[in-house]
Chain A
Amino acid sequence: MKNLFTELRVALIATIVLALLVCGIYPAMVWVVAQGLFPTEAKGSLIMRGGKITGSDLIGQGFIDSKYFHPRPSAAGSGYDATSSGGTNLGPTSKRLVDTIKQRVFAYRSENGLAPDILVPADAVTASASGLDPHISLKNAYLQAPRVAKARELSEKTVLREVAIATESRDLGILGEARVNVLKLNIALDGILR
């Protein structure tokens, strides 16, 4: 019994000492060094427009107007709510999933005026995992480009050029997928004088 008390005392000390190390010193050191080395990233890769924060490079935002490229459907809160990230968590045989996607496919087709033989890119009608996915696929962007160009009365070429600029290729040429950052693209489009 006495032994057990000794053990518990050591355990308590160990917990506190360890907490000081890994919950105090360690994150503080990471914080200090990170703020020094990578201040922008450490602070959230925020985008400033006119002295105001208008978003983050990494966090997607919702867009509805046809002059904007539309991001992926989001299940975060009421859509791109960064305080409740997450996906739909609907399974492949979910009626809700299939019904929702049916509507989205219809909407996507009609707003972009797709020919019947053109298939809708999956990322355009499926909700992302985080609900904050800042990216869409290249295919998706290309299909939206004519609509955006039309709404902005820009040439498709100009829009596609902006798409190309907003395109992030595979990391190191290998990892991940090529993708288009919707927020950056839309901000860039807003900045283009007609």
Chain B
Amino acid sequence: MDLFGLIQLILFITILVALTKPVGLYLVRVLDAEGRTFLDPVLRPVERLFYRLFGINPGKEQDWKGYTVSMLCFSLVGLLFTYAILRLQHLLPLNPQGFKSVNADLAFNTAASFTTNTNWQNYGGESTLSYFSQMVGLTLHNFASAAVGIGVAAALVRGIAGNSAKTIGNFWADLVRINLYLLVPISFVFALFLVSQGMIQNFKGYEKTALVEPAPAETPMKDAAGEEVRDEKGNTVMETKEVKTQIIPQGPVASQAAIKTLGTNGGGFFNANAAHPYENPTPLSNFLQILSIFLIPSGLTYYLGRMVKKQQHGWAVWSAMAILFLVTLLVCWWAESAGNPRLHALGVDSTSGNMEGKEVRFGIFNSALFATVTTAASCGAVNAMHDSFTPLGGLMLLFNIQLGEVVFGGVGSGLYGMLIFVILAVFLTGLMVGRTPEYLGKKIDSYDVKVSVLALLISIFSILGFSAWAIVSKWGLAGLNNSGPHGLSEMLYAYSSATGNNGSAFAGLTGNTAWYNITLGLAMLLGRFLVIVPVMALAGNLSGKRMVPSSAGSFPAWGPIFTLVLVGTVLIIGALTFLPALALGPIVEYFLMMKSGLLY
């Protein structure tokens, strides 16, 4: 933990705070079907054209069920669309490497992954997917799933702000406007900036370069058909060959990378994601990518405050997120800076921190910052390998995801996830002011509590249930890259990430097997849609309620006390639920690393 890190952290927070209000105000316009933006002269006609093509009336608001049905239909079509593209990859254009059809379970996993804004990658981008699959099959969802998330959050906020209202917006109008006025324009500018930093944007075939120093290397032996040769035990047979060339994959990276972080998608063009020099060339590109992850989630809190006409509430929610973020960041940064004493014992410089799985240009702080942000925000892009983080550093990342992806969280999903906690926090402590708990003038009834805990239960069931199943089954253990407590961490991380729609991984886990593809895919779908439906039900129930005027006796959903209550609720629910499992994973691993000589 050094001075430069601190300066960068302060810079980061300052810029984030400064951007929150303008982004929030812009969101207010975008999320209002009648709202005007400076892009209207260019985009208004396009917007109208879209509505005509869709055959919908954007001014006709839907009730929560209507909104949900539209959203589910759209997501289902998108899921099938991507599944079809991946399966038919070999027949589709823009496939210079001639990749084959993606097999069924991987195609399901990938389609689920992108439809749910998870972007978990069980495929190796540069070795499995054609440009067309990436550009159309996947990038579509980078925009679409982000828009769905923002739309659902907006619907919930409208529900909270509404007074005896029946409707909570029009899904199709939200979808169109969020893409046209928000995601596409920002991505366009951002992508160009990223190219200026060295990120590539082309449609060339892979470049074959002559190595400066050709060298012998152990490579998998390949037969005439190009398949890897395996011995009788199933292990790959290796051979030593003189390697003279380096094949460098190319492609339209920048256009995908921009929306990858802006839409908290996280799915990388390359296997190494934002650690890959082409996908994150400089510390500056790195800094802005991190910022872009928090941009919309942070702005949405301002949108919330604006919509409920209580800006302090928006800032209170923001502050709660910021506090949780800072706590996890500081612990992670500290742990990574402290490094791995086992390596220090071998004569490795302890001042350089834990550099395994990290890039030199980012160093410890920017790796810790990126990792914390990406796990906090359900993004899942990585610029360092989380699997190789120290136990406590990794614990923070895992915990961020398990808190429910509410620390700023995914675009939209972070806000609606946090609002679930707000409802619970208000209910838990609201009784203590001697009134039926009320949230911004709306009494919390048993229906609200029911759907809120339902959303919470789904995630917990999925994370713990799938992990507990996989960790004692053959197929589960077969996928682990590490054994001992770290293996458990890998497993927990996988299902937490899938359920939380994060998409980052303790990437040692080999997830590309039928069992993993299917269970992880299910976890993603559960974690997304079985959470959204109760959230929408909550939106519908809240919108119909009459607003009670606030008085000195009402529960104040703002101010330091509320912020702390919210932080406490998120922490306590997260900690109580996951502590036993975490104790057997990263926590025990920490003590083993510090106090024993055991290795696994």
Contacts and interface: CB of A to CB of B under 8 A. Distances in A.
State yes or no: do A and B come from one complex. yes
Contacts of B81: 15, 19
9 contacts: A17-B53, A18-B143, A22-B184, A34-B195, A44-B250, A72-B360, A78-B243, A84-B124, A128-B360
Contacts of B255: 26-27, 30-31
B360 A136 contact: yes
A95 B599 CA distance: 5
A165 interface: no
A193 interface: no
Contact of B388 (A41, A81, A90): A90
A148 B279 CA distance: 31
B164 interface: no
Contacts of B475: none
A129 B385 contact: yes
Contacts of A31: 201-203, 252, 255
B521 to A, nearest CB: 20
A146 interface: no
Contacts of A126: 343, 348, 354-358
Contacts of A13: 53-55
A37 B195 contact: yes
B247 interface: yes
A108 to B, nearest CB: 9
B572 interface: no
A23 B388 contact: no
Given A14-B74, A83-B247, A123 B195 contact: no
B264 interface: no
B266 interface: no
A33 B283 CA distance: 23
B248 A122 contact: no
A151 interface: no
A192 interface: no
Interface of A: 3-4, 7-15, 17-19, 21-24, 26-27, 29-31, 33-35, 37-38, 41-46, 49, 52-65, 68, 72, 76-95, 97-98, 101-102, 105, 109, 119-123, 125-137, 139, 168, 170-172, 174-177, 179, 183, 186-187, 190
Interface of B: 4, 7-8, 11, 50, 53-56, 69-70, 73-74, 76-78, 81, 124, 126-127, 135-136, 139-140, 142-144, 172, 175, 179-180, 183-184, 187-188, 191-192, 195-204, 206-213, 215, 217-219, 243, 246-250, 252, 254-256, 258-259, 270-272, 275-278, 281-284, 286-287, 339-340, 342-343, 346-350, 352-363, 366-367, 382-385, 387-391, 394, 481-482, 484-486, 489-490, 506-508, 589, 592-593, 598-600
Closest 8 interchain pairs by CB? A176-B283, A89-B508, A91-B486, A129-B275, A85-B272, A177-B363, A87-B385, A130-B272
Interface hub of B124, B183, B202, B355 (most chain A Cβ within 10 A): B355
B357 A23 contact: no
B140 A121 contact: no
Contacts of B11: 174
A10 B172 contact: yes
B357 A127 contact: yes
A15 B77 contact: yes
A128 to B, nearest CB: 5
A21 to B, nearest CB: 7
B191 A127 contact: no
Nearest to B482: A91
Nearest to B85: A19
A15 B140 contact: yes
Contacts of B383: 129
B124 to A, nearest CB: 6
A59 B277 contact: yes
A125 B345 CA distance: 13
A88 B482 CA distance: 10
